[in-house]
Structure 1
Amino acid sequence: MDPASGVIVAQTAAGTSVVLGLMRCGRIWLCPVCAATIRHKRAEEITTAVVEWVRRGGTAYLVTFTARHGHTDRLADLMDALQGTRKTPDVPRRPGAYQRLISGGTWAGRRSSDGARHRDREGLRDRIGYVGMIRATEVTVGQVNGWHPHIHAIVFVGGRTEGERADKRVVGVFEPTENGLKEWQDQWRSVWTGALRKVNPAFTPDQEHGVDFKRLETERDANDLAEYIAKTQDGKAPALELARADLKTAAGGNVAPFELLGRIGDLTGGVPEDDAAGQGSLEWNLGRWHEYERATKGRRAIEWTRYLRQILGIEGGDTEDDDLDLLLAADADGGELRAGVAVTDEGWAAVSRRALDLATVEAAEGTDGNTDPAAMGERVREVLALADVADAVVVLTSGEVAEAYAAMLESLALRREEASARRRRENDDQDDDTDPAVLEERARRHLARRVGTPQE
């Protein structure tokens, strides 16, 4: 993150070790390391949101959406049908079945000629008190039935709201009527199957399996989710079901994408096919992984409806930058740091080239129970000597570790601020392409970059 600061390998009070100061790719779809941390943090957010809403007296549902699929269907086509197409310079974005659920007069209500929405013109969202939802997309694949993308959503209902968009707020809660809930569920099932049928009749699920609703009855239901998030591999707790796709072993002969990756690693590493986890040949797994990479590019794995976070008082966002911030926060959440070593930028580059980064982390943890900073530093130096960079290590006490990491974060924040200011200047340059003063100033900057000094 900060070449001037290098990297800090620190030992926690729990006896584990963390590496501070490394940028992460943050690819939730493709990176097992980053995905595990991001999804864990997202699951914590989801649990907090559900607990808060149930505590207020609201109602939440876990809703699962699926499409019919076969072994010849392309993942990109199925994802387009569910999530919508991605916008390109030449082709406008086309909504998917998911976007159709929360659009139209039946759902949103109809306005009268004066622009107001009277009670007799209310839509389904008003009758059930729809507040918003959190959507997560999961993908599995099998040799028999092919790709199986599906959407899990936690839907918050039973809220009385005032205001629109950024000013929207909850002013009360109520229990939706049974007739209202049935009307809503029937409507979503009808819209979902109809939208998929319009894209491709072969994708049309039956009414029983296309959309599944599970109500979260009590605050206890929501609180119990936290017990499963970190330790359950294939649990059905709603927050886990929503966010922790990285932990799942797919059912019905299917495998999750990271299981494809694991089998690829085993087979290319010399493990016999019968002993490697997963299914299929190396060629089949590589083909499916490459297709998965292309189909998920530019898509969000987990997304909250707009303004839901502010309504529930949950900070953060769903962008790639927000994912990177979660990774940064996770690095700092390792607990109390009792000792560490600082490794220079050049030193860590040499460690990585020699593939000694894991050995360095293990040396910081130690196996002999000796937590003395000097002993830890000596263990790390022995590893770094293999990369000829033993002199690139500085042993730090607990206070020095915290101080060094704070300085590193401050440097990162400053660079982000400078980058943001630079982007604002560049956007300002594009605001008016005809103003002579703007054109002249832009020319001066361009020439200054090319020759080093402004020119007439």
Structure 2
Amino acid sequence: MDPASGVIVAQTAAGTSVVLGLMRCGRIWLCPVCAATIRHKRAEEITAAVVEWIRRGGTAYLVTFTARHGHTDRLADLMDALQGTRKTPDSPRRPGAYQRLITGGTWAGRRATDGHRAADREGIRDRIGYVGMIRATEVTVGQIHGWHPHIHAIVLVGGRTEGERAEKRVVDVFEPTGAALDEWQGHWRSVWTRTLRGVNPAFTPDDRHGVDFKRLETERDANDLAEYIAKTQDGKAPALELARADLKTAAHGNVAPFELLGRIGDLTGGVPEDEAAGTGSLEWNLARWHEYERATKGRRAIEWTRYLRQMLGLDGGDTEADDLDLLLAADADGGELRAGVAVTEEGWSAVARRGLDLAATQAAEGKDGNTDPAAVGERVREVLAHADAAGAVVVLTSGEVAEAYADMLAALAQRREEAAARRRREQDQDQDDDADDRQERAARHIARLTT
């Protein structure tokens, strides 16, 4: 991250090791290392949101959306149908089935002629008390059935809100009626199916598999909300079901993207096909991985309804820059540091080129109980000697490690302040873009009516 300060390899009070000061790619779709950390932090964030909402007396559902698919369907086409197309210089963004769920008068209510919502024209959104949702997209692929992208969403209902945009607040909670919940579920199933059919009739799911609703039942320890667990009917933690796609092994002969990557690594490393994990030839796995890279570019893997975090008292955002902030926070969250070494940028580059970075990290661990800074430094220096970089190591005392750690935390705090300012600018820009899109759609509609 900072060539002037290099890298710090340190031992924590728990005897584990941590590397501070490295730049991370932050690619949640493509990098197994970064994805594991980002998704873990996202899962914690989602759990906190669900806990907070149910603690207030609200209701939460885990809703899964799927489309019919076959082995000849392209992943990009399926993703466009579910999530919508991406905006390009040549064409505006086209909403997908997901966006259609929360648009239209049936959902949002009708407006009276004076522009205000009439008391008798509430939409389904009002009747169920829709507050927002957290959406995650998961992708699997198989040789028989092809690509299978699907969306998991935790939907928060049972709230009344006031204010608009950044001023929006939850002012009351209530239990939606059974009739309102049935109306909502029937409406979403109908919109989802109808939209997919309009994009491509072959994508039309059947009534049983297209949209699945599971109300989240909870177990709370009144004295310690940290031990609160929200479970779906099959016993899975909904936050992990939503966020931890990196932990999953796909079913029905399908594989998850990182399983493609693992098999590619095995096969290019000389492992026989019948002994390598996963399925398919090297060519098939490479083709699927490259298609996956292209289809997920520019898309968000996990996304919250705008302003939902602030209504629940949480910070953060969904952009790639926010993912990098999570990685930095995780790197700096290693606890008390008691021994370590500083490695220059040139020295660490030599270590990485030789593939000795893991060995250097392991050398800083306190498995033998020896936490003396000099001993830790000597172990790391021995590893770096294999990369002709032993001279690039400076042993740090516990006080120096703590000082370096404090400097990195200060730098992280500054980054987070900058990220908060960036999010505010992006939200303002998104609002402007939404207004432009609405004006453009209105103009096209008027043009159709007059021709």
Normalising by structure 2, what TM-score?
0.88
Question: Deviation string for 1:284-336 (max 9, x for gaps)?
Answer: 10010000000000000000000100000111111111100000000111222
What is the deviation of 1:257? 0.3
CA–CA distance in structure 2, aligned partners of residues 226 and 300 of structure 1: 26
1:252 counterpart residue number: 252
Kindly report which structure 2 residues correspond to 1:49-448, keeping only aligned pairs within 5 A, or say none.
Answer: 49-220=49-220, 236-410=236-410
- The answer to which of 259-268 and 329-338 deviates more is 329-338
CA–CA distance in structure 2, aligned partners of residues 413 and 177 of structure 1: 45
- The answer to which of 129-138 and 269-278 deviates more is 269-278
Give the letter for the 1:17 counterpart.
S
CA–CA distance in structure 2, aligned partners of residues 303 and 369 of structure 1: 43
CA–CA distance in structure 2, aligned partners of residues 189 and 403 of structure 1: 57
CA–CA distance in structure 1, aligned partners of residues 183 and 87 of structure 2: 33
Contact 1:44–1:226 (8 Å) recurs in 2: no
CA–CA distance in structure 1, aligned partners of residues 420 and 57 of structure 2: 41
CA–CA distance in structure 2, aligned partners of residues 4 and 204 of structure 1: 56
Contact 1:26–1:320 (8 Å) recurs in 2: yes
Q: Indicate the RMSD between aligned Cα atoms, in angstroms.
A: 2.3
CA–CA distance in structure 2, aligned partners of residues 38 and 71 of structure 1: 31
Over 3 Å counting, the alpha-carbon distance change for 1:235 and 1:401 in structure 2 is farther
CA–CA distance in structure 2, aligned partners of residues 412 and 41 of structure 1: 16
1:435 counterpart residue number: none
CA–CA distance in structure 1, aligned partners of residues 344 and 226 of structure 2: 44
2:436 counterpart residue number: none
CA–CA distance in structure 2, aligned partners of residues 420 and 193 of structure 1: 38
- The answer to which of 334-343 and 65-74 deviates more is 334-343
What is the deviation of 1:220? 3.5
Give the letter for the 2:258 counterpart.
F
CA–CA distance in structure 1, aligned partners of residues 40 and 269 of structure 2: 29
What is the deviation of 1:217? 2.7
SS in 1 for 2:386: helix
Contact 1:2–1:408 (8 Å) recurs in 2: no
CA–CA distance in structure 2, aligned partners of residues 304 and 195 of structure 1: 22
SS in 1 for 2:338: strand
Give the letter for the 1:76 counterpart.
A
SS in 1 for 2:94: coil
Contact 1:84–1:95 (8 Å) recurs in 2: yes
CA–CA distance in structure 1, aligned partners of residues 416 and 354 of structure 2: 31
Count of aligned residue pairs for this structure pair: 417
CA–CA distance in structure 1, aligned partners of residues 42 and 418 of structure 2: 29
Question: Deviation string for 1:210-242 (max 9, x for gaps)?
Answer: 0000001335499777699xxxxx973211110
Give the letter for the 1:377 counterpart.
G
1:47 counterpart residue number: 47
2:425 counterpart residue number: none
CA–CA distance in structure 1, aligned partners of residues 274 and 366 of structure 2: 36
Question: Deviation string for 1:67-87 (max 9, x for gaps)?
Answer: 000000000000000000011
What is the deviation of 1:378? 0.5
2:14 counterpart residue number: 14
The answer to which structure has the higher helix fraction is: 1
Over 3 Å counting, the alpha-carbon distance change for 1:415 and 1:356 in structure 2 is same
Over 3 Å counting, the alpha-carbon distance change for 1:179 and 1:417 in structure 2 is closer
Contact 1:109–1:124 (8 Å) recurs in 2: yes
Contact 2:230–2:238 (8 Å) recurs in 1: no
% identical aligned pairs = 86
Contact 1:140–1:255 (8 Å) recurs in 2: yes
What is the deviation of 1:417? 8.8
Contact 2:217–2:230 (8 Å) recurs in 1: no
1:427 counterpart residue number: none
| Structure 1 segments unaligned to the other structure (5+ residues) | 229-233, 422-456
CA–CA distance in structure 1, aligned partners of residues 237 and 202 of structure 2: 31
Give the letter for the 2:41 counterpart.
K
What is the deviation of 1:372? 1.4
Give the letter for the 2:32 counterpart.
P
SS in 2 for 1:205: coil
Normalising by structure 1, what TM-score?
0.87
Contact 2:80–2:96 (8 Å) recurs in 1: yes
Kindly report which structure 2 residues correspond to 1:441-456, keeping only aligned pairs within 5 A, or say none.
Answer: none
What is the deviation of 1:366? 5.0
CA–CA distance in structure 2, aligned partners of residues 161 and 227 of structure 1: 24
- The answer to which of 5-14 and 211-220 deviates more is 211-220
Over 3 Å counting, the alpha-carbon distance change for 1:81 and 1:337 in structure 2 is same
Over 3 Å counting, the alpha-carbon distance change for 1:416 and 1:208 in structure 2 is closer
- Asked if 1:37 corresponds to 2:18, the answer is no
1:444 counterpart residue number: none
What is the deviation of 1:415? 8.6
CA–CA distance in structure 2, aligned partners of residues 364 and 123 of structure 1: 60
